Copies of this chain bind each other. A is one copy, B any other.
Amino acid sequence: MKRNVLIIGAGGVAQVVAHKCAQYNDRLGDLNIASRTKAKCEAIIASVHEKNAMKVPGVFAAHAVNAMDTAEVAALIRETGCQIVINVGSSFVNMTVLEACIETGAAYMDTAIHEDPKKICETPPWYGNYEWQRRDRCKAAGVTAILGIGFDPGVVNAWARVAEEMLDKITSIDIVDINAGSHGKWFATNFDPEINFREFTGTVYSWQQGAWQENKMFEVGQVWNLPVVGDQKAYLTGHDEVHSLSARYKDADVRFWMGFGDHYINVFTVLKNLGLLSEKPVKTAEGLEVVPLKVVKAVLPDPASLAPNYTGKTCIGDVVRGLKDGKETEILIYNVADHKEAYEEVGSQGISYTAGVPPVTAAILIAEGVWDVGTMANVEEMDPKPFINLLNEMGLPSRIKDANGDRLLQF
């Protein structure tokens, strides 16, 4: 039984992961959290204790680590006796952390695709560039590595698998991500601005008619009507899950849609057209080399700072169309999260909450042997039922809306 957990990262999602691990520490073991800045880890642990979040007495220790250094991460895994690593650090550290897990045998999870700081929007499928190249080594080492186990990617992949089991044939999967909340700032990104903007500056890849389709960001938009949040305009957007779901559902169209207001689009367009979202260094008149995107990140509000005043709700759903008994059928599987409730429970806003709960759910399933598959897997390859049932208990209920009505999804 694997129980001891090492959390990598100390941002808004790590805060949620820490609180949720603490709330379920009777089903896990010692808890550890490590990032470049130990003080940030200590602050997170302090907030866990403030909320009396530890279900049973236990260890929760902070560490400093350079997660870009595999040997350092491996040493920390051994030193803390951790068998489960929840990597919610920057997307730049995924492969070095995964290597440490392969080396030590610990289970690995992340919530976003690996990125090379110097590259934006590599060729599809993105998982083929880094993660899947290590699949055979994970299998050989018996290492459980669950890729992209946040909300989207993550829960939305599990929902696609649920739909697969309900339908005879899937013809399209449209993942729609709407944040109808308000942070009250003139402008802010809901997670690391560097990662946020990098998502939108490249080609928008979608999988349609059996091939990769290319569009520009904000080129294709449509209004989606979703429960609670109502009519919302969303735009075809490149996103991790399209790059694994398209491999399993080759005959289906797989698209990701993200909601954006006109204000966000205007700010993004100005920054992009001026070259301020570039990951390539420029030189100032004084000769200083600097990456514009990192300066934009430096002037924007820290996403973690938004949480206390965030109000409103998010709705993320899979609209799955297909055939059932020869008839065209549409299923919506979705979750609604509330920013304020998330903040009151774990001190983070709703977007961090939806991303941070699923890997803890998965950690429990790994600890209990249910999901300890001993190889690398994307979420749609796993049995979705125990995952969705446990998510329902842990604060992220899945609902399903189809011809039979709108109800809790449970097995």
Contacts and interface: CB of A to CB of B under 8 A. Distances in A.
A213 B294 CA distance: 38
Nearest to A270: B270
Nearest to A295: B295
Interface in A246-300: 266-267, 270-271, 273-276, 278, 282-286, 288, 290-292, 294-300
Interface residues of A, number: 28
A187 interface: yes
A382 B179 CA distance: 63
Given A266-B270, A276-B276, A294 B288 contact: yes
A186 interface: yes
A194 B285 CA distance: 10
Count copies of this chain in the complex: 2
Interface in A153-197: 186-187, 194
Interface-centre pick from A290, A291, A294 (highest chain B CB count, 10 A): A290
Interface in A291-322: 291-292, 294-300
A266 B276 CA distance: 16
Contact of A298 (B271, B282, B300): B282
A389 B285 CA distance: 39
B284 A295 contact: yes
Contacts of A194: 285
B278 A297 contact: no
A186 B273 CA distance: 7
Contacts of A291: 284
A274 B294 CA distance: 13
Nearest to A281: B298
A298 B290 CA distance: 10
Contact of A270 (B267, B278, B285, B292): B267
A274 to B, nearest CB: 6
Nearest to A187: B274
Nearest to A274: B299
B285 A288 contact: no
A306 to B, nearest CB: 15
B285 A298 contact: yes
A42 B286 CA distance: 20
B270 A283 contact: no
Nearest to A271: B270
Nearest to A194: B285
A267 B276 CA distance: 12
Interface in A182-240: 186-187, 194
A289 to B, nearest CB: 9
A297 B282 CA distance: 10
A185 to B, nearest CB: 10
Given A266-B266, A267-B274, A270-B271, A292 B299 contact: yes
B299 A275 contact: yes
A10 to B, nearest CB: 12
Interface-centre pick from A266, A273, A274, A295 (highest chain B CB count, 10 A): A295
A108 B337 CA distance: 67
Chain A to chain B: the 6 pairs with minimum beta-carbon distance, closest first: A275-B299, A282-B298, A270-B270, A284-B294, A295-B295, A284-B298
8 contacts: A186-B273, A267-B270, A270-B270, A271-B274, A276-B299, A282-B295, A288-B288, A288-B294
Interface of A: 186-187, 194, 266-267, 270-271, 273-276, 278, 282-286, 288, 290-292, 294-300
Given A276-B296, A282-B299, 5 more contacts: A186-B274, A266-B270, A284-B291, A284-B295, A286-B294
